[in-house]
Amino acid sequence: MQVSQASNQSAWKRVYQDALFELDKTRLRPKVEAALKAVQDRLFEVRFNPTDRSELMQLEDAKRKIMLLAKHDLQT
């Protein structure tokens, strides 16, 4: 794995975890939006540059969780 790939992989995970663990409702939406963008950007990279299949599965799972979190945020 190249350094840039490792960096990109850890970057989306940090943004994703930051959104998942945000308790302040006023700060949640921007973090969810940032996490969704980070995951989608990394999904784009992974799909066009073959890489570790487990990361692709992690990204798909993260995207589903973020979408659920965003849906819940909009309802409250």
Determine the Cα–Cα distance for residues 63 and 37; give it in Å rounded to an integer: 9
Terminal CA-CA length for the chain: 41
Condensed to tens digits (0 to 9), the pLDDT of residues 32-62 reads 999 999 999 999 888 877 667 888 899 999 9
pTM (two decimals): 0.82
